[in-house]
Structure 1
Amino acid sequence: MKKMKPIIEVTDIKKAFSKGPKNEILVLDDVSLHINPGEIICLLGTSGSGKSTLLRIIAGLIKPTQGLRYYNQQPVVGSIPKLSMVFQQFALLPWMTVLQNVELAIEGVEFDPAVRREKALKAIDVVGLDGFESAYPRELSGGISQRVGLARALVVDPEVILLDEPFSALDVLTAENLRGDLINLWISKKTNLKSMLMVTHNIEEAVYMADRILIFGSDPGNVRSEMVVDLPHPRDDHEEKMSAYIDEVYRRISDINFQSKRAGMRFRTVRVDYRLPSVAVSNLTGLLEFLASLEGGEGSDLSDVADEMHLDIDELLPVAEAVEILRFASVVNGKFNLTEAGKSFAEASILDKKKIFARQILDYIPLALNVRERLERAAAHSMHKDLFLDVLKSNLSEAASHAVLRTMIDWGRYAELFAYNDNSGMLSLEDP
């Protein structure tokens, strides 16, 4: 069988952002992927893993630090011909009508106004927007606005469309409807489309849409696993085979996100500058109580927990990471397993929960111990938060450092290990 030649390929992509003269934040490293004609690919991973950055590099909107891009086996610099992009935010110009917003996409390449209008009207018709040509963005719902974005992408007659979480800003029913319409458009072959590459953090969406799923890991971002979804379009959301694929994706994502533990270890060990997940204690408590309940059970699958608690992976994985680094539960082979500490916490009274939580973060979160010990030694037992931020900034970005300290302050307050005054930025052993 003759090997298919990819329409787009990227190899050895690296992207780093400067963090001062001697430091940089590595967002992407060693990323290679190809897009074949006739397939939909979903790039699946948590927010902040670099998926959208990679999409913009492929589109030519961002230059990689290193690496190459190819279009039909030829190296390419800058934009790729016959490629368009649909963004998460609709980015419609509010003073232009739907028709004018769509025409704008080809204004620089098609100078005949009559031809421009004819192509724009055809694209509007393809996405089912007849009757909205003269409407302004302020009159449109989110779903209609995203259809305009899709029409704007199709009007250039692309061979490849890149979609950056195109349905994430929409409500569940609207997103489901638009996904179905996009698949129907793909099957109908009413356009010149040969391939689609879509970024998402929605596992069900990826399995519904994709012929291949590329699972992204983070710090730095790259493709950690590839999975073929061998189901014909259109697909039934409730089909048993789809459920099996969804469970497998959850298992792989679990393995990827919790593989930093050393071989033979049940839990990972974290450093003082570890990027703590931004998880509220209430969410952590809710998960542990669910796992301890009859509904949660022992050895609960991540997919079942996500379904029962109505969480997507951007919500589930951070809280799963939090309960694991705090030794409340382990995550192995896509399953939660409560520890004795986790069971005790879930069943304890409000005051006892605080005591158990305090013990766990002092034992297993070095930053918490660092804050507590420095406050105990400091004059007046108080210190400004910037002194702790300096510890984090040695290995984390400014934004990440603030997010980690914010989490640590929230956890420490709950455990009554220290207090914090947001007006002065001072941490102390006790509230004044």
Structure 2
Amino acid sequence: MNLIELQGVAKSFSAADGSARTVLSSVDFELADGEIVALLGKSGSGKSTLLRIIAGLIPADHGRAAYRQQAIHRPVAGIAMVFQSFALFPWLTVQQNVELGLEAQGVPAAEREKRADAVLELIGLAGFGGALPRELSGGMKQRVGIARALVTNPDILLMDEAFSALDVLTGETLRNDMLALWDGDKIPTKGILIVSHNIEEAVMMADRIIILASDPGRIRDEVHIRLPRPRNADSVEVRALIDEVYGLMTQHPVQAAAAGAPESAHAGYRLPATDVSRIEGVLDMLAGAPFNGHADLPRLAEEAELPDEELFPTYEALALLGLAHVDHGDIHLTPLGQHYVDADQVRKQEMFGQQLLTHVPLAAHIRRDLESEPSGTLPDKRYLELLEEFFEAEEAQRVLEVAIEWGRYGEVYGYDFHTSRLTLPESETA
């Protein structure tokens, strides 16, 4: 029996102008008994929204979400969630934080204490029951979060970026401890669903990886992993899987579009969350030794010592601007990218501006409006309202900030922070 079944699930939220903004569209998904599944996808793919529908925290607008063949309409007792932010109550002790779920279920105090003690020992926190969260390291705080979820003996464990707030070594240790509990049948949980940005983490843990497309979120690819656990991160099989998932995750919107205009062809395209310094830093690293213009993405990530969630937007920006080509888990400097690396600073900014106007519709739209405006200046609110037709207010603000930074660097337009107005560059105004 499937533990979770989603059929045609869709979810929308209201945009600032009152129109519906679709976050998830026609999602069909199953979580089988005895399975660990990882959800991967860039910002805007609806991963966390999907998790909250499964947990019963928010309803789906369309389609059916079911737990053990029963429709999900509210929080389900058999489903527990672990959050990225730990979400501990700072004024409660570790023991009291762990007992919260049991208290909400009406479990008597003596039973709560017994079960909390047992799970704290299981998760490696025996002796810390009387400590306050501020006395704990990040890894220990997340162990408390996991213990709080496990103490209710959940059928399904949902993990929303549960290891991403931890340093690499701590996250890997906690991940391995969780797998030891799962594979050793030391917890009663029958299924685990993980949201992650970390490809290696997903490959090391999951039986199946689901890759979501964005705007709206929908299932784009699926990778089955049949390797036994524990898995060796340096084995040929694991490295091949990591390369495969990197390739799927870094498909350029032009490649990913099945038909019609690609995602990046309109002003409401979700510009990648990266800045010019990171774009040029990765470009310089790619052009230099030992890569000399060609790199395997996992190896480039190791050299850069940056997590996947920071590098993926940079890869996307390089491909969008025509400075690099990403294909099947590899990245290659384009001839234009090589010219960019070799150019002096003035020429780099000219080239950046040219590529921006050619490949980023929002930037071209702003520039055209400024050229047609007699005063050569316009309020940024005009473009924020445009973006809010596609995104939530916070994400619209982020996308506009990226467009402003890129445009200023390429001298396509200027920006006055005091008046919140976009302007034509000073030289052209004069």
TM tier, smaller: over 0.9
Could you tell which deviates more after superposition, 352-361 or 385-394?
385-394
CA distance in 2, matches of 1:262, 1:191: 42
Deviation at 1:370, TM superposition (A): 3.0
Matched, 1:325 2:316: no
Deviation at 1:299, TM superposition (A): 4.5
Closer, same or farther in 2 for the Cα pair 1:70/1:373, shift >3 Å? closer
**Match for residue 62 of structure 2?**
66
Scaled by the length of structure 2, what TM-score is found?
A: 0.92
- Tell me if the contact between 1:165 and 1:199 (Cα under 8 Å) persists in the aligned partners: yes
Deviation at 1:263, TM superposition (A): 7.6
Identity percentage of aligned residues: 42
- Tell me if the contact between 2:156 and 2:192 (Cα under 8 Å) persists in the aligned partners: yes
The one-character-per-residue Cα deviations of 1:316-344 (angstroms, maximum 9, x if unpaired) are: 22222212222222323333233322111
Q: How many residues align?
A: 427
Deviation at 1:264, TM superposition (A): 12
Could you tell me which amino acid in structure 1 is paired with residue 384 of structure 2? L
**Match for residue 314 of structure 1?**
309
**Match for residue 356 of structure 2?**
361
CA distance in 2, matches of 1:145, 1:71: 29
Aligned equivalent of 1:411, options 406, 414, 419: 406
CA distance in 1, matches of 2:257, 2:60: 30
Aligned equivalent of 1:218, options 196, 203, 214: 214
CA distance in 2, matches of 1:17, 1:234: 41
Residue 415 of structure 2 aligns to a residue whose secondary structure is strand
Aligned equivalent of 2:393, options 392, 398, 412: 398
The one-character-per-residue Cα deviations of 1:100-125 (angstroms, maximum 9, x if unpaired) are: 11111101324421111111111111
CA distance in 2, matches of 1:333, 1:243: 13
CA distance in 2, matches of 1:151, 1:392: 41
Matches within 5 A, 1:79-228: 79-228=75-224
Could you tell which deviates more after superposition, 371-380 or 208-217?
371-380
Closer, same or farther in 2 for the Cα pair 1:272/1:10, shift >3 Å? closer
Closer, same or farther in 2 for the Cα pair 1:77/1:264, shift >3 Å? closer
Deviation at 1:365, TM superposition (A): 2.5
CA distance in 1, matches of 2:155, 2:22: 31
Could you tell me which amino acid in structure 1 is paired with residue 103 of structure 2? E
- Tell me if the contact between 1:289 and 1:347 (Cα under 8 Å) persists in the aligned partners: no
CA distance in 1, matches of 2:181, 2:211: 25
**Match for residue 246 of structure 1?**
242
**Match for residue 301 of structure 1?**
296
| Structure 1: gaps spanning 5 or more residues | none
Matched, 1:288 2:283: yes
Residue 149 of structure 2 aligns to a residue whose secondary structure is helix
Deviation at 1:135, TM superposition (A): 0.6
CA distance in 1, matches of 2:258, 2:4: 37
Deviation at 1:132, TM superposition (A): 0.2
Closer, same or farther in 2 for the Cα pair 1:155/1:145, shift >3 Å? same
CA distance in 2, matches of 1:109, 1:396: 37
- Tell me if the contact between 1:217 and 1:257 (Cα under 8 Å) persists in the aligned partners: no
Could you tell me which amino acid in structure 1 is paired with residue 351 of structure 2? I
CA distance in 2, matches of 1:170, 1:57: 26
Could you tell me which amino acid in structure 1 is paired with residue 137 of structure 2? S
**Match for residue 10 of structure 1?**
6
- Tell me if the contact between 2:161 and 2:196 (Cα under 8 Å) persists in the aligned partners: yes
Closer, same or farther in 2 for the Cα pair 1:164/1:113, shift >3 Å? same
Closer, same or farther in 2 for the Cα pair 1:342/1:35, shift >3 Å? same
Residue 6 of structure 2 aligns to a residue whose secondary structure is strand
